[in-house]
Each structure stands twice: as C-alpha cells, then as structure tokens.
Structure 1
Amino acid sequence: MKHKKETEDFNTEDPRTPRHTEDFNTEEPRTPRHTGSDGVTISRAAAVVFVLLCVLLMTARIILCATFTQERQQLKTKITNLTEEREQLLTKIINLTQERNDLQKLFADGWKCHQSTLYFFSSEKKSWTESRRYCRERGTDLIIINNREEQDFVKNICGSEHFWIGLTDVEEEGRWKWVDGSNSNITSGFWKSGEPNDYQGKEDCANTHLN
C-alpha cells in the first residue's frame, strides 16, 4: 500500500513580524478651544479691567484738574497781591513827593526843622490870643517846649526878639499850663530869674526871653 507523501510548501525564510501601519498626524497638537461659559468669564474680566482703567484715568484727570485749578488760583492771588502792593507803593511815592514839595514850600516860607518838628517864627506883632488864633487857623498851635534842648533851640532862633509860646495861667492865676492842658517841664530852671511875677496883675501868658 502506497502512502502518499503529503508535502507542504513552507517558506524557509525566518518568519517576520507582521507590519502594522497607522496614519499619524505629524503636526503639533493644538490647544483645545473652549467655548461656552469660559468665553463669557474672559469677556467679563476684560470688561472689569477696562472699567477699572477708565476709573483710574478719570481719577487722575480729576486730581490733575484740581491741582491745576488750585495752582492757578494761587497764582491769581499772588498777582492780585503784587498789584495791590504796587498800587500802595505808588500811592506812598505820590504822598512822599507831595510831602517833599510841601516841606520845600514851608522851608521857603521860613519854617525851621528841629528833631522832626517844624517851627514857624512870625515877625508880625500880635497879642498872645491873636497869635494862637493865627496858628490854629493853619492847623498848628503855639509852641510847647518839652525839654531843655528844645528850649535852647528856640532861644537861639529867637535871639533878642520876644515870641509867644503856648503857656498860660489865664484859667487859674498861678497855675501855668501848656495849650495842650499839660503842665510838664515847667521847672524853676525854665523861667527867667524873678519870673513868673504877674507884673501889675496883667501877665497871664509866657514868651521867650534871652537871658
């Protein structure tokens, strides 16, 4: 009985691992896009930031405007003060100029100056009462001698001439007072020797006398 030898063809090569192929996307993975509630949150945050920026900008603008307004007001105040000071200085200059002109006129008319006080010695012959009226009509009065230095000044100007001074006891005999109501500086050294003596009961006013 013949046996049929069954033969099979085998690949004598080493069996190889089957190759598997897949399609891969070589591009880099992209960040997934979010939609819906995430988009609303981002938009709301951006709106809040924008509002805050607007508020900060408005606040800065208000502060700058307030600062500028304050500085402008201070500058206007300084200008006003300087203008007033200038006007005051101009007024003082005008007044001083007028005073200088008045003094020059007074000196030309015979007035004398001693220790910032002006004196006028009139050559007209008048009584004590008339002399005082003459002075008061010109905004002055008969002289009041306040100290020895002033008395010496008056004596040097008067010389041997007699000039009425603002001293009288017409209100009360023996009580001598100056025309301003005071009785200061009327000492024994003030009077000429033997004065006051109310000669013949008619002497109620004082005048200068060269010793």
Structure 2
Amino acid sequence: MRGAKGSPRQPGRREADDERATGGDTESLEYEEDDLPDLIMNIEDDVLDDRENEDAENIGASEDLQVARDSLQNTTESYLKLQQQAKQREQLDCTRFKNTTEHWLHLFCEKYECPSRICDPGWLLFSRSCFLLTNTKLSWEQSKDLCLSKQGYLAIANHDQVQNFLFEQAKEMAYWIGMTDSLTEGNWIWMDGSKVKDGITFWGPGQPDNAWNRTYRTPENCGLMRQRQWFDEACDAKYPAVCEKNAIRLHLIFQRMMRLR
C-alpha cells in the first residue's frame, strides 16, 4: 500500500484518453484550418472563371452586335445610293420627255378632251391608223421612200371600210397605194407582206391587165387607186401617194407619264 502511495503518479487512463482525444481534436482542427486557404482560393478561381466566361460571352455578343450594326449600315448606305441613282434617272427621263411631242400632247389633253388615238398634224385618223394624202408626184418607189421618211408606209387598204374611207378622201384624184406584184407577176401583195384578197371588188374593169406602158417601157406592176377603183400601173409613173402609220395611243403616253412621276 505504501509502495503504492510512494510510487510516482502515473497518468490515469482517463487523462490519457482526454489527451488523446484533445490531441486528435487539435490535429483535426489544424487540418481543416490548413485546407481553408485552398478552399477559398478554389472558390475565388471558380468565381473568376465564371466572370471570365461571362466577360468572354459579353465580348462575343458585343462583337456580333457590332458586325450586325456594320452590316445594317452598309445595307442602308447601299439602299440610299440606289435610291439617289433612281431619282437621278427619273429626273433625266423627265427632262428628256419634256422636249418630246408626247409631253405637249399630254399637256393639251389635260386641258381638253382627247380621243383615245390621235394623229400628227395633216394626217387623218381612221380606225387605228393615220393617213396622209401627199401632194408631190413621184414614182411608186419614191413614194414608198417618202412615206418611210415620215415614219409611215404606203397605205394598206386590205379592208373595205379603210378603202372606202380613202376613196372618199381621194375624190377623183389618183394615188399610189401599197400593193405590187413586181416580185411575182399576178401575185399582188401589200407592203406588210400580206396577200391581196382574191376576188376583191375594187379592181377596175379588166384590171389588173399588166399592160405594156409605152411611155416608161415597162409592164404595170404597182397599185394605183383612181375613181374609186384599183388599177395596175407602171411603177415609174408619177403620182401622189397615200401614206399610213399607226395612230398615237394616248393611254400609253399617260401610262408612261405615270411611270416617270
């Protein structure tokens, strides 16, 4: 018992356990504290990475927006340029149109009532054509050239109404008209290449007879109207002529004006 009392005091199991427990707790706390900076840095890195990704996305979106703005600006500039060019062409067309006959016709018809078709001064309107009875006596070929110089052609009277109208205008005078059989004898054709109708009633008695003309020493291969009938005549004979051309259609002029406005 005494020996027991005199022996050095050994730590008890409970203190050892407490120390062990305390030491274990201290070691655990020290580990967690050492890891804390790394944990904070990892969190900061994640936050920075998120911010960098977000900034990159924003930068990409800004670049896309700038590209879209540049494209829109280029498109707008191109459109304005084309619009300006169209306006300049329109002004040029208007300037040219103001110096034409059609412009004066338009101004006239704005003030007065006009027919749907009209003719140049001196020409007579019938149906869809204008007719001019010339005063100069020329050969058939010369008369054809004269009509061409007036933007017309020798008259094509391939309808009864047209021929009767020309008979009324010609009275008793003789005029060249646009038919000939100079290419093939007996095959009478009009200026536009169409064939003179068989059995036409406007030929005079015994016509066409292709008689030999002693004056011009040629056969008679060109068409002449006289005394409300047709005759074949030597093409070198001298007569006035009937020219024909299409009437001016006013509605086309007005449509053109509307397009130029």
Report the Cα offset of residue 52 of structure 1.
1.7
Deviation at 1:123, TM superposition (A): 1.0
Q: Give the match for residue 143 of structure 1.
A: 155
Give, in angstroms, the shift of residue 48 of structure 1.
1.2
The alpha-carbon deviation at position 195 of structure 1 amounts to: 5.9
Partner of 1:161: 173
Which of structures 1 and 2 has the larger relative contact order (alpha carbons within 8 angstroms, sep 6+)?
A: 2
Deviations 1:181-204 (A, max 9, x none): x23353433623436322633431
Using the alignment, how far apart are the partners of 1:78 and 1:135 within structure 2?
48
Q: Identify the structure with the greater strand proportion.
A: 2
- Deviation, structure 1 residue 126: 1.5
Cα distance change, pair 117–86 in 1 and its aligned pair in 2 (3 A): farther
- The equivalent residue for 1:4 is none
* 1:111 paired to 2:128: no
* Corresponding residue for residue 186 of structure 1: 197
Q: Matches of residues 36-115 of structure 1 in structure 2 within 5 Å?
A: 36-97=37-98, 98-100=100-102, 107-108=120-121, 110-115=122-127
Q: Distance in 2 between matches of 1:116 and 1:71?
A: 53
Q: Distance in 2 between matches of 1:102 and 1:210?
A: 39
Which SS does the other structure have where 2:177 is aligned? strand
How far off is 1:35 after superposition? 4.3
State the TM-score, normalizing by the size of structure 2: 0.54
Give aligned-pair identity as a percent.
16
Amino acid at match of 2:136: E
Per-residue CA distance 1:84-108 (angstroms, 9 max, x = gap): 443443454345441426989x834
CA contact (8 A) 2:189 2:196 kept: no
Q: Distance in 2 between matches of 1:88 and 1:115?
A: 36
Report if aligned partners of 1:198, 1:204 keep a CA contact under 8 Å in 2: no
Q: Tell me if structure 2 keeps the 8 A contact 1:128–1:205.
A: yes
Paired position in structure 1 for 2:6: none
Change in CA separation of 1:205 and 1:95 when aligned onto 2, cut-off 3 Å:
farther
**Under a length normalisation based on structure 1, what TM-score does the superposition of the two structures give?**
0.64
Specify which structure has the higher proportion of helix: 2
Q: 1:205 maps to what in 2?
A: 222
- What residue ranges of structure 2 are gaps of 5+ in the alignment? 1-32, 109-118, 213-218, 229-261
**Structure (1 or 2) with the larger CA radius of gyration:** 1
Q: Quick check: 1:192–1:209 contact (8 Å CA) kept in 2? A: no
Secondary structure in 1 aligned to 2:199? coil
Q: Distance in 1 between matches of 2:73 and 2:160?
A: 61
Aligned-pair CA distance for 1:176? 0.8
Q: Compared with structure 1, are the counterparts of its residues 75 and 137 closer, same or farther at alpha carbon in structure 2 (3 Å cutoff)? A: same
**CA RMSD across the alignment:** 3.4
Distance change (3 Å), C-alpha of 1:86 and 1:191:
farther
Deviation at 1:158, TM superposition (A): 3.0
In 2, the alpha carbon distance for the partners of 1:84 and 1:115 equals 42
1:72, distance to aligned residue in structure 2 (A): 2.8
Name the CA distance, whole Å, in 1 between partners of 2:47 and 2:59: 18
Distance of aligned partners of 1:85 and 1:122 in 2 relative to their CA distance in 1, 3 Å threshold: same
**Structure 1 equivalent of residue 251 of structure 2:** none
Offset from partner CA, 1:35-85 (integer Å, 9 cap, x none): 421222122112212212222222222232233233333333433443344
Of 53-62 and 167-176, deviating more is 53-62
Number of matched residues? 177
